[in-house]
Structure 1
Amino acid sequence: MGAATADDAGDALAGAPPELRTLAEEILAELRPAPSAADGQSARLGPRG
């Protein structure tokens, strides 16, 4: 298919300019769950209670 099926930003943007790759990696990093999300809490929302 295309970039939509790639597992990694590097795979999806193999022929892209470095600036576009960097931007895509930054966006994907923001969209990935924070490490604290594993315990059911989002780092942005803070502790529940």
Structure 2
Amino acid sequence: MKIGIIQMQMSWTIEENLRTISEHVKSLDDLDVLLFPELALCGLA
């Protein structure tokens, strides 16, 4: 099992964060599990 832990830069909106998450998922599709920050789908505002 291959596991990836993503430490991503948080954006101000959910849409921007979701776009970043989607890009990571597409580029790391050979991994079985990806872990993201607990507030990855929350905006900073």
Interval of TM-score (by shorter of Structure 1 and Structure 2) = 0.3 to 0.5
Higher helix proportion: 1
Is the radius of gyration larger for structure 1 or structure 2? 1
Higher strand proportion: 2
Q: Which has the higher contact order (CA 8 A, sep 6+)?
A: 2
